[in-house]
Amino acid sequence: MRINTNVAALQAQRAMSEHNKTVENASGKLAAGTRVRSAADDAASLAIGNKTKTEIRSKTAALRNANDAISEFQIAEGSMNEISSMLVRLKELSMQASNGHLQNEQRQLINVEYMAMRREIERVIHDTSRNGFDVLASTGGSQIREYQIGTGNDSQSKFRVDQGNFALTEFNMGLVDSTVVNAEEARLNLGYIDQAIQKVSSARANLGAVQNRVESAINNLDISKTNESASYSQTMDADYAFEASEKIRGEIKLDAASSILAQSSNFSAMALKLLKD
């Protein structure tokens, strides 16, 4: 028996230190909810997890961008729907004014509403905007808009839309200078308004195709984000059952080591007692 150096106590202290680290590590993972808190825990998993987290956050931003584009297209669709209704009313007024039993004075009264509808169509076209950008009005020059719906700096991550395909004006609808002040002009308007209705229908078809494509991109991004999140969880999230069992196992060993340390501390006192006796 050695009195100067209590080897048993030193071994018990070392064991207590190791078990205490196990308890602290498991408790920290349970509190944080993550298996890898630092590179010391698992350097490879930390690198993979950070890359996956970046992809998840980037795809979340791409989803917001795509939904912003959908909102813009929905605004345009709503205005086009109202323009279509007003064009139907213009044709109805032209049909009424083309009837031979009316006098031109009476057609002038119809023309008041006709011109008001024309002005309203033009106002709606120029008033349809989102975040300061005209949605329907033709601005001239290039009307290509790019929407970032991917996570890279390549052409596959950008969705390009030529807004000229659904830009509307009185000129491209053929309504400029149209009136119903007499029967002849009212009859001519019938063909022009049919062309305008066809123009709006074509623009709505182009807009619908673009909107459906973006919605497909949103679905794909959502699925990809879900799978990336599952992968991140597998790599980084703590297994609560495992960590809880590690914590309990460490606490039991810590209690045992503490008991042994208490017993080893009595060895010196026992030796002194023997010497006195």
pLDDT of residue 271: 59
Q: Which domain holds residue 228?
A: 61-236
CATH number, domain at 224?
1.20.1330.10
pLDDT level of residue 214 (50, 70, 90 thresholds): very high
pLDDT of residue 177: 87
Contact 47, 253 (CB under 8 A): no
Do 95 and 212 lie in a common domain?
Answer: yes
Q: Considering the domain boundaries, does residue 189 fall inside one?
A: yes
Q: Considering the domain boundaries, does residue 56 fall inside one?
A: no
Do 136 and 20 lie in a common domain?
Answer: no
Q: Considering the domain boundaries, does residue 38 fall inside one?
A: no
For the chain, how many structural domains are there in total? 2
> Taking 80 as the threshold, does the pLDDT of residue 276 lie above it?
no
pLDDT of residue 125: 92
pLDDT of residue 38: 76
Q: Considering the domain boundaries, does residue 55 fall inside one?
A: no
Do 157 and 213 lie in a common domain?
Answer: yes
Q: How far apart are CA 134 and CA 129, in angstroms?
A: 4
Q: How far apart are CA 257 and CA 11, in angstroms?
A: 9
Q: Which has the closest alpha carbon to 40: 31, 30, 29?
A: 29
pLDDT digits (tens, 9 = 90+) for 75-102: 999 999 999 999 999 999 999 999 988 8
**What pTM was computed for the model?**
0.73
Q: Considering the domain boundaries, does residue 40 fall inside one?
A: no
pLDDT digits (tens, 9 = 90+) for 178-203: 999 999 999 999 999 999 999 999 99
Do 260 and 147 lie in a common domain?
Answer: no
Do 228 and 249 lie in a common domain?
Answer: no
| Higher per-residue pLDDT: 36 or 226 | 226
